[in-house]
Amino acid sequence: MRKLNQLMNLKKRVALITGGAGHLGFAIAESLAEAGAKIVLLDVNEKACKQKARQIQRKYKVKTMALVMDLTDLKQLRAVPQQIRKQMGRLDILVNCAALVGTSKLKGWATSFEKQDIETWRLAMEVNLNMPFALIQACKSLLKKTRQASIINISSIYGIVGPDMELYRGTGMGNPAAYSTSKGGLLQLTRWLATSLAPDIRVNAISIGGVFRNHKQPFLARYKKKTPLKRMATEEDIKGAALYLASDLSSYVTGHNLVVDGGWTAW
């Protein structure tokens, strides 16, 4: 029987993280790199993507690759596995972290339902749901070649429960229908893929609660009051969850939604 440090060892494995230059994506990439994985960061921000990839390589002494692209471009998306195969030789872990999030400054986004824009809705569905579907589809053959393939879809508590709009009253913030709907769809896609791609590829999700990004009062106080652990999440809170689902620690886990929300959905 293997020891825990062997089960979590990701040496020789390659992990692709979309949105890898962002806050959550980079935290996940660091977690997997610390466990020995080679890292492919994919992000639309060229400067940040290349900088973060170099940072991981220097800090963790693992091979890294920066893939700069807009995943809404289907031609570019479908070329991803070929580029990874050419430079890394394999793909073991795929983390779908890139997303159109609730703080995005978009027309008809963080506003009342009657003012939410259908084109912004379509963009959210494209980035948050269609893109993971298409990327998994493109990478399936490459992932299937390994015995340890793991897909992790990053969802949200708002893919599980509806929002309490009282949180946002008087703050200028909001919670658009498109975000919740796309994240709920991602959870159902996770379940569908888990049964359809088994036993070759495991597919799981992580639903994280609100992450603290210098939020102001009264939102912060309201959020803490609704959370049993009395705080918002940090990027660090997702690192252990990502390592667990990416590694052999969870080798008998698929179709699962690991909720990291401080107890928000337990009320």
> What's the pLDDT tens digit per position in 109-157?
989 999 999 999 999 999 999 999 999 999 999 999 998 899 999 999 9
Q: What is the mean pLDDT of residues 5-34?
A: 98
What average pLDDT is seen over the chain?
96
Over the stretch 253-263, which tens digit does the pLDDT of each residue have? Answer: 999 999 999 99
Domain span at residue 110 reads 4-259
Tell me if 266 is assigned to some domain: no
pLDDT value of position 147: 84
Q: Tokens in use for 149?
A: 């393939």
The angle formed by the CA atoms of residues 248, 6 and 4, to the nearest 5 degrees, is: 80
- Confidence class of residue 105 from pLDDT cuts 50, 70 and 90? confident
**Which residues, 6+ apart, have CB-to-CB distance to 21 below 8 Å?**
41, 43, 45, 48, 49, 51, 52
Tokens 């603290």 label which residue? 212
Residue 267 lies inside a defined structural domain of this protein: no
One-letter amino acid of 53: A
Catalytic hit among 179, 223, 244, 252:
179
Bigger pLDDT: 59 vs 173: 59
Helix boundaries (H) for the chain: 4-7, 23-34, 46-60, 74-78, 80-88, 118-125, 131-144, 177-197, 219-225, 236-246
Does any domain span residue 94?
A: yes
The verdict on residue 220 lying in a domain is: yes
- Angstrom distance (rounded) from CA 146 to CA 134: 20
Tell me if 166 is assigned to some domain.
yes
Cα 51 from chain centroid (whole Å): 20
Handedness of CA 216, 221, 226, 231 (dihedral sign): positive
Question: What's the distance, CA 248 to chain centroid?
Answer: 19
What residues contact residue 5 under an 8 Å CB cut-off, 6+ apart?
Answer: none
Residue 99: inside a domain, yes or no?
Answer: yes
Average pLDDT over residues 16-41: 98
CATH number at residue 64: 3.40.50.720
pLDDT band at 106 (very low <50, low <70, confident <90, very high): confident
Q: Is residue 253 part of a domain?
A: yes
Residue 41: pLDDT band (50, 70, 90) is very high
The answer to whether 60 is a known catalytic residue is no
Q: Is 102 a residue whose pLDDT tops 70?
A: no
pLDDT value of position 218: 96
- Residue 221: pLDDT band (50, 70, 90) is very high
Determine what percent of the chain is predicted with pLDDT higher than 90. 94
| Residue 203 is assigned to a structural domain of this protein | yes
Query: What dihedral do alpha carbons 239, 162, 226, 186 form, nearest 10°?
Result: 0
Name the domain count of the chain: 1
pLDDT recorded at residue 103 = 62
Among left, alpha and beta (phi > 0; psi -120 to 50; other), residue 65 is beta
Contacts 24+ apart (CB under 8 A), 75-83: 77/131, 77/134, 77/135, 77/138, 78/134, 78/138, 80/16, 80/42, 80/135, 80/138, 80/139, 81/138, 81/139, 81/141, 81/142
